[in-house]
Structure 1
Amino acid sequence: MYRFCTIVLLLLSGVSISQESNISGLLAQAEEVLYSDPQEAIRIAEYISEKSDQPAELLQAAYLLTRGFYIEGKYNQALKIGMKFSEEELKSDRGIQIQLNILLAKLLKDLEINSLAVKYSDKAKNSLKADSDTQNWVTGKIIQYGLEKNQKDSLPAPDQFYSAKSKFKKITSSQYSFQIGNIDLDLAEIYLRKFQLDSAEVYLSSAFRESKKEKSGNYLEMKALIKYGEFLFLKNAHATAIDTLNAAMLLAQKFSNLPEQYKVAQAISENYLALNNLKEFNNYNQRADEISTAVGNAENDAVNTAYNIFNSNETKRFTLFRANARWQLFILGGILLLLLLFWGFTKLRYRARINQYRKFIGYLEKRKEPSTTPAPPAIDTSKTLNIPKETEEQLLVKLEEFENSLDFINKEISLSRMALQFETNTKYLSELINAHKQKNFNTYINELRVNYITDKLKNDPQYLQYKISYLAKESGFSSHSVFATVFKSVTGISPTTFINILQNKQESPAA
């Protein structure tokens, strides 16, 4: 009998060890194919989530699922999984939980929910202990993603990216080549914005090298192809750019990633426009608009999911506190908490309104500056522009005529089309706008559009009754979301707030 029991125990033990070994193997397999075949990684992780009852394995599967859905551009699913498991307290898997929180912070920042992004970033930092690899990884990611509280939305300086890259190179594991490759792409983006194409090419080549360390057709390769397409556009190699971007589109479709498909379709349309192929330009421009609508809807769903889950988690914490506290103390504390929250909310709301009004006034005053202040000294562009002086003066006259027209609200306006209209090339026109307007082409056009629609809102009360989508279309923007984002970057406040302030001024007796 004793021998029989021993055999049964050994057999049961063997089954347990075999299952544990199998799960570990599946996790490793999912990790290996994540960036080249996220759908397969997701299938494996979902299987583990169903079969395993070990918290550590479930957390690893959740982290794989969150990354897989992020690679596919499915932010809603990524948030549902990631935010759920971020609440788990697993001391033995602190490293994975920290990485999960950093990914959630990045995702929330992409969705412009910055307050929640900071919460998850802080949660990751506060969990750090004496683990050099984890510390280097977190520090590198915070720099790369721009998750510092006081950091502006613009890209960090190159030195910050060099610092982030050095952090990843200190990590003993070799699995962080994707992190280094992504930083190379961020550096390439900086130099592309500065039109320093030689430097941009160096970092693009480095990103491609990092992508070769994984299976062909991986996520980093797709991102590098998209960025290389931008580089070729600036080099006026439009046919090659289209071929490169088509290769990127195949990978974006393989990953079912709609946000990346939108970027690629838009970039291809711009290259066809530069080649004066209006048929293909219209085809890809329409395709980009269709994808943009789907992307906007998906992002709205993700934002709602984030807030719902966060509020639900806060409610659970509050319920647990109530269950463990004495009833009398709870009543007193609850009343005090509500009063404090009400006071704080009122104060914050008042400050927010004051801040919004200041931004509104600041924007209007900035618009008045050219007529109320002396003209700035003439800019000496002889050393900064490679444009003949006569050509420069002719282009400035055409630029002034353009600003006084309504051509800038044409949705199809682009640097290439405008250069054709001005009978010049994109390089001259881009340099002229950078030198005389101190901004790039897209920012220049967007500010003209926003200034146009704010003038309409101020001078024609009828415009205050229109929907934001109509205002976006009226001023030349392709979508509601793009218009709202650009409007806030120019005026400092959202279109809705801007309209509310104007309406309040009309209704006020003192107005």
Structure 2
Amino acid sequence: MKILFFAFLFLINPLFLFSQTSSKIEYYKSRFFLYPSIGTDSAIIYVDKVFISKKPIDLAFAYVAKRHLLTITNENFNDEEYISKLHSLLANIYDDKNNYLDLSNIYNIAGNSYLFKQNNKEALNYFLPALKYAEKTDNIAQIIKVRNNIISVKGNIDLYNEALEEIGNNIALLEKNKNSLQAEYYHSQQVTNYVNSGIFNTEMYIKDKKNNTKYAELSFQNYQKALEISGKIKDFKKSNILYKIGILFNEKGKYDEARKYLMKSIILAKKTKNINDLLLSYFHSGVNFFETQQYNLSKKNFLKVDSIYKKDSLIREAYLDAAYYLAKIYNKQRNSDSASLYSDIYLKYKKEEFEKSKKEFISITDSLKLNEIQKINEEKDKLGAGLKIVIVVCLLLLIFGIFYFVKYKKNKKTSEKRLNELLVKLQNNQPLKPIIETQLISNEQEEKILNSIKKLEDSLYFLKPELSQHTMAKKIGTNTTYLSKIINTHKKMSFNEYINDIRINYIITKLYEDKSFRKYTVQAIAETAGYKNSNSFHKIFKEKTGATPMQFIEKITNQD
């Protein structure tokens, strides 16, 4: 009897473990879709855990998800190898109803990677099977998600009528399933489809303004419907719809009306801290004033775009177009230096596009914009010198690639050593803060200032986001020159290096000692340290520790 009992346990125990593992894998897969909020570093950690599965469907998901995260973060990786692995795994997946949702997600993620790279043809090749599997699941949310991606592709290749037809199908599908959908989701998808309809109707109007006035009216009606429905959605950012209405009125030549909507969008985007909408609202306000020949006001708005882009590198196309307009404005105002500066910015990035795609560059060369900029900056007239430039550029890229690879390998070893030394210090409770060189104190005034600096450190004054050399000097009761001299002498570093050093040391210690703090997002950790920009924090943290914040958290968590 005992033998039978233990035999039964032997059979059921693997089944129980399999169930637990399968549940964990599904959880890890679900975390991938949260990468916009939890960050790509965290998402990659979860996706890497999916690779422990032996099931082809899970491994296919892991490869396609990791490929997407590497793509959107512009990492260097072997894309062909990932695609080859994906297709090899897909060939071993049964066409079974239990796999349909996963298959739809896999093809949809692959399509989104190509969409990010602006390869519309390949994107569509993956979105179509994604839609086929979504329809087999009868999962309305999945069907609409994939259809929205197909709509984006058709819009990108100017198939506006087909895109509008797909939007109509989406709206009909939403209405048909209204009672089975959550109200928040139902209304948000209504807004998405009406906004997309507004965008494509605007594009149809722009194609032939004289004969396509009806599309302008349809566009405005769709935007108004989107605004009306958006009031039913909690925390919905209306600035996105408002600036699009501003674009429509700009195109219609109704500049005063456009200005009203663009100003509303700017106010709302500032209030909700929506940098993306704020940048685009300033850009289209700049276009508005340029078209009405109010060049100083136009310049003011385009300079805002320039400033926002340098702090948060979003929407390069709007930034480049702002540079194009600024070059024209400064040229009109006879400011040749500034005109040359912005024409250089514009041409520099267009050269990069040429290196990526000769076809793209030819279409830009034929456009009025590039011709005008080339005329402003005569020194750049030989931009399309031909094959020799391409060969030189390719050689330079090859040399740079070799140099970068060697440097990367060297830096990796240095980073690992730095991280291990740091962990040893933490384990041995050794101080991380810069030591004051007390033997170098030359007079009572310097000693007084150093004591004041120590008090500010103890009170965590360095965590204030508004901290600057000026505010700290004022707080201590000295001037910036003297403060800088004392820090250089006694801390052996510049003021900025000193502030970054104690901020990162604080975060390192807090992460090491406080496990709950490790659950924060990188943005939240950056803000705790006094950084407004998480990218700056990410870079400084890695320079000091040899690891990204998420890598450091994973390392110390594994040691617990």
- TM-score by length of structure 2 reads 0.42
Structure with higher RCO (Cα < 8 A, 6+ apart):
1
- TM-score by length of structure 1 reads 0.45
